[in-house]
Chain A
């Protein structure tokens, strides 16, 4: 049990970061604080995916040092390279992250122009008052 907990320590780290971001999204009233929480949440998920690609031993970056040996045969041992599939998937996720950030920032500026405040409770009060 103890070895299971220590051996999967990256899971606990990413769950902790994700809960920090989730708390900021749920409990903070300021809209920019909510955007910061969303950013932390997405980074935690990307961190989890990247941490699944790490292998034990002397593992280098997934770039081939020599594609062929002297006889023209392929000499690639995949255990010497990190798994490149999560890297490629998470590149797309980072671009999506900055796109959602841009849309959220634009919506926040529009809300500020309409209601002159960034606090969620004051915005709700202003809507109820009509």
Chain B
């Protein structure tokens, strides 16, 4: 584990998490959530958990993002808060 890389990745993860819940456009929020999942996957690769990392990359960062984009396409794109 490399400590400065760990801190930089955690900083980006925090930025993505805050941006995903504050942005008003739901499609942008969902895409930022996909970026959050991919950064989390990088964090786990750096923590020597490669099996968890590629499961996260295939299941959560791709299938989860596709499911959420389908949900936004079936419903409304604008959010009030």
Complex partner residue of A98 from B17, B26, B48, B59, CB under 8 angstroms? B59
Interface size on A, residues (CB 8 A): 47
B6-57 contacts to A, CB under 8 A, are 10, 13-14, 17-18, 20-21, 26, 29-30, 33, 36-37, 40, 43-44, 47-52, 55-56
Q: Are B1 and A112 in contact (CB under 8 A)?
A: no
Q: Take A40-B36, A94-B55 as given contacts and tell me if A60 and B64 are in contact as well, using a CB distance cutoff of 8 Å.
A: no
Which of the residues B21, B48, B59 comes within 8 Å of A62, measured between beta carbons? B48
Check B72 for interface membership: any CB of A closer than 8 A.
yes
Number of interface residues of B (CB under 8 A): 40
Partner of B17, one of A20, A82, A94: A20
Question: Cβ of B60 and Cβ of A119 under 8 Å apart?
Answer: no
SS class, residues of chain A in contact with chain B: helix
Q: Hey, which chain B residues are within 8 Å of A97, CB to CB?
A: 60, 64
Q: Nearest 7 CB-CB pairs, A to B?
A: A82-B48, A24-B21, A112-B75, A30-B79, A105-B71, A61-B48, A87-B49
- Apart from A98-B67, A119-B80, what are 19 other A-B pairs with CB-CB below 8 Å? A28-B21, A30-B26, A30-B79, A30-B80, A32-B68, A33-B81, A39-B60, A39-B64, A43-B36, A47-B44, A50-B49, A50-B52, A53-B47, A61-B50, A82-B47, A87-B52, A98-B64, A105-B70, A112-B75
A–B complex contacts, Cβ < 8 Å, 13 sampled? A13-B10, A20-B17, A33-B79, A39-B64, A47-B40, A54-B1, A90-B49, A91-B51, A102-B67, A108-B75, A112-B76, A118-B75, A119-B79
